[in-house]
Amino acid sequence: MWKIELANGYVILNPDRKLEIYFIQVKPRKTALFASSDILQQFEDESDDRIGRAIGWMSNHRYRLLAWMGRVFYSARGYYLRLEARLDPVERVLKAMDSAERYVITHSDDGDATQRRKQFFGYLRRQRAKHLFWFVLDLLLSIASLAIAWLPGPNVVGWYPFLRSLSHFRAFSGTLCTLRSSRVEFKSLPELHRLEENLQAPGFDRTSIHGIVEDLRLTGLEQFLERMV
């Protein structure tokens, strides 16, 4: 568990929260970050998500207007999160990185380990720039779209740019936390080399990939690869 209950009843986050990330070469010039879906769910459930806490506070407020706004936020956010899972699987990993304190990066044993480290940090810098750009753009778009966000019902269209800007900000923050962290550990895994060879082969052999995924026992990996390849 990543939450520690103190004697006075307060709950704090465990300072040793570790996130295991797999750095996978899915195509000759395309890499991606993967983390087991059950681990990601645990981070999301037990993270210090200030947005979720703020919406909960508003929903339970004694003033009706604030409570109503909180319920609107909650409904729109629920619809959006189900949609977000289909947009960018890597973004979910980056947001979990914002809540972690330690990072274990697993990569293929093919090639030089130092080069793999450089590739990983270079990948994070590109992701940082990407999500900063989209955060600013979606934030600007949200100014116009929020005008229709208060229409009756779970108006996902009206809230979409605003919610996307929040998501991009958390992904940006996750890359920043990892780049600044001194607690990033790297290790190699031979099975990832086999997986990368099959992913980059001319013919996409689903049977072989399925067998490797079964050996790795990582929840959600097969669905992730189908999206990324």
User: HEC string of the chain?
Assistant: CCEEECCCCCEEECCCCEEEEEEEEEECCEEEEECCHHHHHHHHHHCCCHHHHHHHHHHCCCCHHHHHHHHHHHHHHHHHHHHHHHHCHHHHHHHHHCCCCEEEEEEECCCCHHHHHHHHHHHHHHHHHHHHHHHHHHHHHHHHHCCCCCCCCCCHHHHHHHHHHHHHHHHHHHHHHHHHCCCEEEEEEHHHHHHHHHHCCCCCCHHHHHHHHHHHCCCCHHHHHHHHC
Task: Give the model confidence (pLDDT) of 159-216 as tens digits.
Answer: 778 878 888 999 999 999 999 999 999 999 999 988 998 888 776 677 888 888 888 8
Task: Give the model confidence (pLDDT) of 117-135 as tens digits.
Answer: 999 999 999 999 999 999 9
Residue 10: what pLDDT? 39
Task: Give the model confidence (pLDDT) of 179-191 as tens digits.
Answer: 999 999 999 999 9
Task: Give the model confidence (pLDDT) of 4-30 as tens digits.
Answer: 444 444 344 555 688 999 999 998 889
pTM of the model: 0.80
> Of residues 111 and 218, which shows the higher confidence score?
218
Task: Summarize the confidence of residues 88-93 as an average pLDDT.
Answer: 90
